[in-house]
Amino acid sequence: MDGTEDPMISLEGLGKTFDDGTVAVEALDMHVPRNSLVTLVGPSGCGKSTTLKMVNRLIEPTTGRIVLDGEDVTGVDPVQLRRRIGYVIQQVGLFPHQTIRANVGTVPDLLGWDRRQVIARSNELLELVGLDPSVYGDRYPHQLSGGQRQRIGVARALAADPPVLLMDEPFGAVDPVVRARLQDEFLRLQSELAKTVMLVTHDIEEAVKLGDRVAVFAQGGRLAQYDTPATVLGAPADGFVSEFVGSDRGLRRLAVTEIEECDLVRAPMVRTESTLAEARAVLERDEALWAVVLDADDHLRGWISITECEGPGVVADRARRMGAYVERSAQLKDALSTMLRHDAGWVAVLAGSRLCGVLTPESLHAALRRSVRAADAGIESADVELDTAGPLH
């Protein structure tokens, strides 16, 4: 999967050799699909940031060309080019003596927008990144937290509505908790705005969480692999990629592996209107200690244990609220996290409020093994046959 189907950015033979003879980036051929998010990851000094800076000509390439939306921009005025491309860096670089609203409106102001348009656009973007313009618009950068400043950096890069966004370690300067929140917030923004994004990171977990595709760079600016996160984790192109993504790459696949129908277990089910005696009979028949509770339309209404199926009454009187659940579109990591957070023995998988099935620790483990083996064999997960026990890989 090389992104050639509809590229917004094409790097053709792009390379950079510095004056001292150091090769920062080899001749690089890489296509970034329109409206996709591509992460560039690799060890320090491997050329990923140099590649990013060549795209907006902060560093001039030695060889090759840059094609942006079908136009060769290798030789155009770099200042004009940069006004078409949003750019976010780790240290943000906000102007300390300007208000937050003025910082966000920097590029529209340079482009000659009407002042009212600039203010309206700044307020719109502050709302978009989760900062109330009436609260934050007239503040100054030193009055914001690190995470808030990063949000302002993203808002400023989006101000002129550029089709392309370049991000160089954008979440690297904040603590891990804030970083995770910023990543989630940015994925939400990207789902709404559908920009074409190139994002540099040194963290393989961030790369596979955020990227539609991952470009793994090796020392000397060599592109070692460029593919989907699941393929990079499941089928590394060579020994370098395998070592870089780590021996626990099977566990990392949890974050990029969706729940599939074949992963789900059918749980014992009882209806809200069933008597407690009827529910107990179902549990005894299935040799189970608990059952999910559904209404007449198969909507999940909770769960009940066998110890509560005593005496008169109906299931609706004793059903407990279900806290451990995920959407059908969730990743395996979401299911495991939910299971651990609720100290639950199983997690319900829902499509809206309808129950699709449940995941247990055993079925989660099987799903992960199935995913890894499917990637190695180049087949669908549903076609993988597992023995009852075995190593992850």
Domains in the chain: ranges and CATH:
7-255 (3.40.50.300), 261-366 (3.10.580.10)
Question: Could you tell me the pLDDT band of residue 389, with boundaries at 50, 70 and 90?
Answer: very low
Q: What pLDDT score was predicted for residue 390?
A: 39
Highest mean pLDDT among 56-65, 86-95, 125-134: 56-65
Q: Is the pLDDT of residue 393 over 80?
A: no
pLDDT higher for 345 or 241?
241
User: Average pLDDT in the 276-292 region?
Assistant: 88
Taking the whole predicted model, whether its pTM rises above 0.85 is answered as no
Mean pLDDT to the nearest integer, 226-245: 86
Close Cβ partners of 209 (under 8 Å, ≥ 6 residues apart)? 183, 187, 229, 255, 256
Share above pLDDT 70 across residues of the chain, in percent, rounded to a whole number: 91
- The rounded distance, in Å, linking the Cα atoms of 365 and 38 is 29
Q: Is the pLDDT of residue 28 over 70?
A: yes
Q: How many residues does the chain have?
A: 393
* Radius of gyration of the chain measured on its C-alpha atoms: 25
Q: At CB < 8 A and 24+ separation, what contacts does 286-294 make?
A: 291/267, 292/267, 292/268, 292/322, 292/348, 292/355, 292/358, 293/269, 293/319, 294/269, 294/270, 294/355
**Minimum mean pLDDT range among 123-137, 201-215, 361-375:** 361-375
Query: What per-residue confidence (pLDDT) applies to 380?
Result: 66
pLDDT in tens, 72-96: 999 889 988 888 898 888 776 788 8
**Between these two residues, 342 and 194, which has the higher pLDDT value?**
194
Q: Is the pLDDT of residue 1 over 50?
A: no
Mean pLDDT to the nearest integer, 336-365:
83
Residue 379: pLDDT above 70? no
Residue 228 to residues 36, 165, 258: CA-CA distances in angstroms? 11, 20, 13
Report DSSP letters for 261-306, one per residue: GGG-BPPPEEETTSBHHHHHHHHHHTT-SEEEEE-TT-BEEEEEEG
Distance of CA 49 to the CA centre of its chain: 20
Q: What is the pLDDT of residue 382?
A: 64
Taking residues 381-393, what's their average pLDDT? 51
The single-letter DSSP state of residue 319 is P
Across 70-79, 166-175, 328-337, 354-363, the highest mean pLDDT is recorded for 70-79
Mean pLDDT confidence for 9-28: 92
Residue 261 CA to residue 272 CA, distance in Å, equals 25
Task: Sheet with 164-168: list strands edge to edge.
Answer: 85-89, 164-168, 196-201, 37-41, 213-218, 222-227
Q: What value does the mean pLDDT of the chain take?
A: 85
How much is the pLDDT for 392?
A: 33
pLDDT at position 349 over 80: yes
Highest mean pLDDT among 87-96, 138-147, 166-175: 138-147
pLDDT (mean) for 309-329 = 86
Mean pLDDT of 159-172: 87
Residue 168: phi, psi to the nearest 5?
Answer: -110, 105
For residue range 101-112, what is the model confidence (pLDDT) as tens digits? 999 998 888 888
